[in-house]
Chain A
Amino acid sequence: MWKSKKVIGLVIAITGLILGGCSNTELEERCFPMMTAVGYENGKITYRDAFSKEDATGQLGAKEKDYTHLKVLVLEEDLLEQKTQYEKMLDEQAETEQFPRNTYVCVVDDIEDLFEMEKNISQDLGTYLEEYLKKHEEKKDRLLTLGDLLDEKENQTMVLYLPYLDVEENFVEWKGYVNTSGKSWQESEIE
């Protein structure tokens, strides 16, 4: 019995090595977007992040995107105004589970302003926005995550208010809240 036990132990150890860990793609072949912007353009849902832009060699998306470290999902206001497209995007996320459920969600009018601002900050946009949102969380309502949006799409029991951000003179400003049907309120009106 002892000999067979040793053989079993060896088989387990060797077969365990074949499993691919977190992913079969090497770390060097992956990139980790910290922020992704979802918009609606020319009748299509668009996803943009820091790695969507062309790199120095002019290549687009050469590395596999790994969203497990995603911190903030920025929704463009245009998408919220297209309720069907917004729900389609949520359905896609529920199906693929591409983005983590605990990713914070906020809304902006124009994502280009944020990308422009990124050039003048010392950290990546995702970390910057996460820190900004958390810093302001105490003063306002609990921050909402992608999970909250997915749950509420199913449950239909509450109206959710997402932070509405704007960029002014290279600084992010919390302008107010937008509910998921795309209508915006100033902070004072909600309270």
Chain B
Amino acid sequence: MYVNNGKISSRQTLRLYVFDLMGIATLLLPPYLARLCGASGIYAIVLGTVAGLIYLVYLGWIMKKMKNDMVSFLRENVNVWLGKVIFLLVMLHSIVTAGFCAYVFANLMQYSLVRDSSYALILLIIVVVAAYAVSGGIESRARVYEVMFWFILIPYIAMMLASVRDFEWVYVEPVLQWELSNLGKGTYLVFLLLTPLFYSLFLIGEKEKNYGRNIVKTVSVSVLFSGAILLGSYVLLLGNFGEKSLASLRFPVVTLMSTIQFEGNFLKRMDALMLAVWFFTLFALLNLHLHYGVRMLAELSQNQGRKLKWWQVLFPTIAAFLVAYGIHWDSRFLHVFLAYYSYGAVPFMVVVPAFLLLVRRKR
């Protein structure tokens, strides 16, 4: 029997984080980066990854001071009501972000596989499956993704390498032309997609003198690995489509998969199969956010580590569904979400951990 204690191994953490970070980044970032920075988006990816690593070092320092995971720290070291407010805010953030992930996932599925099917139905299936996965606990998901890791990544890397055949250097040449403000925006955009790093505060680490050291070390490798994959993917997308064409495409990396041809007339029509890369990675990210939405609700209702109740999974799932459907129904909600993420979520994730340390010291 497997143990269900909320703890996962370093290898599982590493693999889960790679999926959480690389999937949505390779899918959504390239067209936005191409619009903002063009070929110099390469620097934005490098700088964004460095910013992610700096953030992680900061989180490591917080963990060391907290000497515990975030949930236990909030339970034991902070005023009860302040703890509840933090749980509530993290829950809302997680549910809204889970909704956005479900929206992207359903969009990708409808766009690339079932164009004539109802969006609401696709979305419903996705969130129900996610709820099912979340109810199984983080350990079971971590085990699945640990096994799937190389099955997903090897075909992806092989396909990207195969795209070198159609690479045009002329498209990458403007790499030396860049504008500082756009580069800054591009870097921030890359960093936005690294915000799941915040959840590393919630991972349960070994009780050692330097609490969280192993978590930070493991997650850093995930950040570097995902950054390298994103960088390689961006260069190849740029060289295959060119800056302006890349900016005009909806899911360029999926389009690239559909155009790659292998020598010798084999492995034809791999695009549908390759969609599994984003189905798995987006599903991992959706699960990550939904998991914390559910877990924070459980904390708010003083579950204290006991088994999840059905409604603790159901309500965040319904809320995520409504957020996703709302974004699909009216694109203004997407702008609201992006504004919230840019101006609300990131400052929250940076400021709140340090604020909590200050509050603890005053007690």
Contacts and interface: CB of A to CB of B under 8 A. Distances in A.
Interface stretch (B12-20, B112-120, B286-294): B112-120
A102 interface: yes
Interface in B234-253: 240-245, 247-248
A87 B170 CA distance: 22
Contacts of B125: 12, 15-16, 19
30 contacts: A1-B135, A1-B310, A4-B135, A5-B132, A5-B135, A9-B132, A12-B125, A12-B129, A15-B128, A16-B125, A19-B125, A20-B116, A23-B115, A23-B116, A24-B116, A100-B258, A100-B259, A142-B166, A147-B255, A150-B245, A154-B242, A154-B244, A154-B247, A155-B171, A155-B242, A155-B243, A155-B244, A157-B171, A158-B168, A158-B170
A147 B254 CA distance: 13
A102 B243 CA distance: 19
Give chain B's interface secondary structure class.
Answer: helix
A145 B307 CA distance: 56
Interface in A129-158: 142, 145, 147, 150-158
Interface in B316-355: none
Nearest to B310: A4
Interface string A71-95: 0000000000000000000000010
Interface string B248-277: 100000010011010000000000000000
- Which 4 residue pairs are nearest across A and B when measured between Cβ atoms? A155-B242, A151-B245, A154-B245, A154-B244
Contact of A21 (B114, B171, B240, B244): B114
A155 B258 contact: no
Contacts of A1: 135, 307-308, 310
Given A11-B128, A155-B245, A22 B259 contact: no
B131 interface: yes
Contacts of A5: 132, 135
Contacts of A175: none
Contacts of B245: 150-155
Contacts of B258: 100-102
Given A12-B129, A102-B261, A157 B170 contact: yes
Determine the interface band of chain A, counting residues with CB < 8 A from chain B: 20 to 34
B66 interface: no
B124 interface: yes
Determine the interface band of chain B, counting residues with CB < 8 A from chain A: 20 to 34
A19 B114 CA distance: 7
Contacts of B152: none
Interface of A: 1, 4-5, 8-9, 11-12, 15-16, 18-24, 94, 100-102, 142, 145, 147, 150-158
A23 B113 CA distance: 8
Nearest to B125: A15
B158 interface: no
Nearest to A68: B269
B121 interface: yes
Given A1-B135, A151-B241, A8 B128 contact: yes
Given A4-B310, A5-B135, 13 more contacts: A1-B135, A4-B135, A15-B124, A15-B125, A21-B114, A23-B116, A101-B258, A102-B259, A142-B166, A153-B245, A154-B247, A155-B171, A155-B243
A4 B313 CA distance: 11
Interface string B162-179: 000010101100000000
A99 to B, nearest CB: 12
Contacts of A12: 125, 128-129, 132
Contact of B121 (A18, A100, A147, A157): A18
A24 B307 CA distance: 42
